[in-house]
Chain A
């Protein structure tokens, strides 16, 4: 089986804050990690490869430091990795990103399955998986939380819906986006991590010319949406702190609720 996994390196959003003066993101001291959902995608691909035989290729579009994420993916068990890195890719919205990723996958050629995480914790769009699937004209299943069975031309999976789930059969090749419920990702193996950093590393780097894309189709120029502004969310709350011992505070709270006609 030829399996492709799309991953993204993201800032750990628990720690991300906006500079109140400039309105832009403070990135210093914020750790870069493999997007959590993508970790589950990697684990699924690697498990499947172990069971069925084959190869796992990991692709990521990002700045040069993304190589750390790809090394970790090799450490987890992926066979090879491709970093798509070029100044021309910067500022891309999901349209431009999916074009870049899609073209790269076309260049790789043969694949049976593409795994993606459902959504990235920085952009929060959950759009890349479905957009890449349409670019490649393959069927998709999103919110996959269980892989039941795989056969030569089909796969059976369970997909989460509000209030329940569906069991679906999907023809291959296909693209799946997965959620955390699917599995528990393994830690990378030290030996494999070291291999990832060696001279004959299984990590390749492709730029726009290598993929065969024009600058106008990727990055900021190739995007349909533009960010007009970013700002910190405002909270309009009373912020009243209640003082006293547990009994007193409880009494005060009941009064407050009564005053506001809540009870």
Chain B
């Protein structure tokens, strides 16, 4: 085994400082001289304490590799059942902006079976190229099948940046790909910019349930990979642009894939999905009971909106799980979000801070929700909500 750390015997005076400091017991002194043992982890503790500079290493300080051959901002064109996920268009918009700053191309990679018809749309929304991989084993998303194909594409075409939506598929595929091609990955980004000095991607994302924002860079590996929160970036207006479609060879054997889809079930959601709603009336613990939700439903009806809730009220059974907004629920970006009896804990805020206008109603004037509201009402929602409904009805009448 190559020793990354060794002792220059002539310089060693047998003082045993290294023996004492080693966390692994990987140095011993025999015949008055220190010897590094096989289970040394190259942590470097002994180097630091040796006064004779007898311990040496060939482990170099971390160099940033030359990545000049890495070109292109890539976007995963996610499709299910032949329909493109909206996040892919949002990412193309962002990719265009990033690529513009780098002077590079935007490419999308599209996997599936008989999906070439989507290429025109992908190019109209900003892709210069589409890498198209079609195969019957790619018809439905399966982790290993998609990872194998993306790995080949990345190794062959060497992109600089690779973005995927932080959807269920994206968050299943991206980490697997990152491990496979040996790169860092940043999850659920809400902001992406190019650092003007280093020319690298700066990836900003929430952590600790949204209490903290972190900006992350990937200096030591390529492509720089990130998953991006849906509904945050903006798609560009559709153009008539065309580009290149590059057909890619795919060879996949069923037995290597490991998973088989037995059944795929679409659950009918009652009403409009929260991500499409222009107005959301949301309830929290302050609503008090399932009965208490009634006035929220009435308000939503008058405003042509949808009802949602915090994790608490879903756990209580006052609303079904698909109505939950928050860190472990959905992220929504309506025009108006009316938070009724919601304290505004960080985990809930994580799901609705992208709303254009936020109205908060809470009995407690110190509730954190008021920090993020455009208009706040300190009062009992069971009075305020019906009063608001009535005022709206009256104003419509005028």
Residue of A nearest to B328 (CB): A180
Contact B23 A207 (CB under 8 A): yes
Distance in angstroms between the alpha carbons of A94 and B175 in the assembled complex: 9
Interface string of A89-102 (1 = CB under 8 A from B): 00001110010000
Q: Which positions 198-223 of chain A face chain B at CB distance < 8 Å?
A: 207-209, 212-216, 221, 223
Distance in angstroms between the alpha carbons of A231 and B204 in the assembled complex: 10
Residue of B nearest to A247 (CB): B387
Contact B374 A167 (CB under 8 A): no
Quick check: is A57 within 8 A (CB to CB) of the other chain? no
Interface string of A124-156 (1 = CB under 8 A from B): 111111110111001111110000000000001
Distance in angstroms between the alpha carbons of A143 and B328 in the assembled complex: 12
Contacts of B373 in A (CB 8 A): 237-239
Contact A25 B208 (CB under 8 A): yes
Chain A nearest CB: distance from B389 CB in Å? 8
Quick check: is B118 within 8 A (CB to CB) of the other chain? no
What is the interface size of chain B, counting residues whose CB is below 8 A from a CB of the partner? 97
Interface string of B209-234 (1 = CB under 8 A from A): 11111111111110000000000000
Chain B nearest CB: distance from A184 CB in Å? 11
Distance in angstroms between the alpha carbons of A7 and B25 in the assembled complex: 28
Contacts of A65 in B (CB 8 A): none
Distance in angstroms between the alpha carbons of A157 and B263 in the assembled complex: 11
Contact A130 B347 (CB under 8 A): no
Contact B215 A221 (CB under 8 A): no
Interface string of A78-90 (1 = CB under 8 A from B): 0000000011100
Quick check: is B392 within 8 A (CB to CB) of the other chain? yes
User: Given A225-B185, A242-B375, is A141 in contact with B212 using a C-beta cutoff of 8 Å?
Assistant: no
Contact A134 B388 (CB under 8 A): no
Quick check: is B390 within 8 A (CB to CB) of the other chain? yes
Distance in angstroms between the alpha carbons of A128 and B218 in the assembled complex: 17
User: Given A207-B23, A226-B219, A237-B372, is A249 in contact with B266 using a C-beta cutoff of 8 Å?
Assistant: no
Q: Select which of B168, B187, B209 is within 8 A of A127 by beta carbon.
A: B187
Contact A13 B208 (CB under 8 A): yes
Contact A235 B372 (CB under 8 A): yes
Quick check: is B43 within 8 A (CB to CB) of the other chain? yes
User: Given A95-B179, A142-B171, A247-B387, is A213 in contact with B41 using a C-beta cutoff of 8 Å?
Assistant: yes
User: Given A18-B212, A121-B209, A131-B176, is A253 in contact with B219 using a C-beta cutoff of 8 Å?
Assistant: no
Quick check: is B270 within 8 A (CB to CB) of the other chain? no
Contact A167 B262 (CB under 8 A): yes
Quick check: is B84 within 8 A (CB to CB) of the other chain? no
Contacts of A88 in B (CB 8 A): 41, 43
Contact B260 A169 (CB under 8 A): yes
Distance in angstroms between the alpha carbons of A191 and B352 in the assembled complex: 44
Distance in angstroms between the alpha carbons of A151 and B20 in the assembled complex: 52
Residue of A nearest to B140 (CB): A166
Contact A225 B176 (CB under 8 A): no
Quick check: is A21 within 8 A (CB to CB) of the other chain? no
Quick check: is A123 within 8 A (CB to CB) of the other chain? yes
Contact A164 B267 (CB under 8 A): yes
Quick check: is B36 within 8 A (CB to CB) of the other chain? no
User: Given A13-B211, A254-B395, is A166 in contact with B265 using a C-beta cutoff of 8 Å?
Assistant: yes
Q: Select which of B175, B371, B375 is within 8 A of A131 by beta carbon.
A: B175
What is the interface size of chain A, counting residues whose CB is below 8 A from a CB of the partner? 90
Residue of A nearest to B60 (CB): A216
Distance in angstroms between the alpha carbons of A129 and B143 in the assembled complex: 13
Contact A164 B216 (CB under 8 A): no
Contacts of B167 in A (CB 8 A): 162
User: Given A253-B391, A262-B335, A262-B336, is A162 in contact with B168 using a C-beta cutoff of 8 Å?
Assistant: yes
Quick check: is A29 within 8 A (CB to CB) of the other chain? no
Contact B23 A143 (CB under 8 A): no
Quick check: is A174 within 8 A (CB to CB) of the other chain? yes
Chain A nearest CB: distance from B282 CB in Å? 16
Interface string of B267-306 (1 = CB under 8 A from A): 1010001000000000000000000000000000001000
Residue from B178, B266, B358, B373 with most neighbouring chain A CB atoms (10 Å): B178
Contact A263 B392 (CB under 8 A): yes
User: Given A164-B265, A237-B373, is A228 in contact with B217 using a C-beta cutoff of 8 Å?
Assistant: yes
Q: Select which of A140, A229, A239 is within 8 A of B176 by beta carbon.
A: A140
Contact A221 B62 (CB under 8 A): yes
Q: Select which of A134, A138, A142, A230 is within 8 A of B214 by beta carbon.
A: A230
Contact B218 A225 (CB under 8 A): yes
Residue from A93, A124, A226 with most neighbouring chain B CB atoms (10 Å): A124
Contacts of A164 in B (CB 8 A): 264-267
Contact B43 A166 (CB under 8 A): no
Which of B104-112, B120-128, B245-253, B376-384 is found at the contact surface with chain A? B376-384
Quick check: is B144 within 8 A (CB to CB) of the other chain? yes
Contact A228 B202 (CB under 8 A): yes
Quick check: is B241 within 8 A (CB to CB) of the other chain? no
Distance in angstroms between the alpha carbons of A225 and B221 in the assembled complex: 8
User: Which B residues contact A (CB, under 8 angstroms)?
Assistant: 4, 23-26, 39-44, 59, 62, 80, 143-144, 147, 167-169, 171-172, 174-176, 178-180, 183-188, 202, 205-221, 257-267, 269, 273, 303, 321, 327-328, 335-336, 345-347, 353, 357-359, 370-380, 383-384, 387-388, 390-392, 395
Can you report 28 A-B residue pairs in the complex whose CB atoms are below 8 A from each other?
A13-B208, A14-B209, A25-B208, A86-B23, A94-B185, A122-B208, A125-B188, A131-B175, A134-B176, A141-B143, A161-B80, A162-B167, A163-B273, A166-B265, A167-B261, A168-B262, A209-B25, A216-B59, A224-B218, A225-B185, A229-B215, A239-B374, A240-B374, A241-B378, A242-B376, A246-B383, A249-B384, A253-B391
Would you list the 5 A-B pairs with minimal beta carbon distance, nearest first? A139-B258, A224-B184, A225-B184, A130-B175, A134-B179
Q: Apart from A124-B206, A212-B39, what 5 extra A-B contacts exist at CB < 8 Å?
A: A214-B42, A237-B372, A240-B375, A253-B377, A256-B375
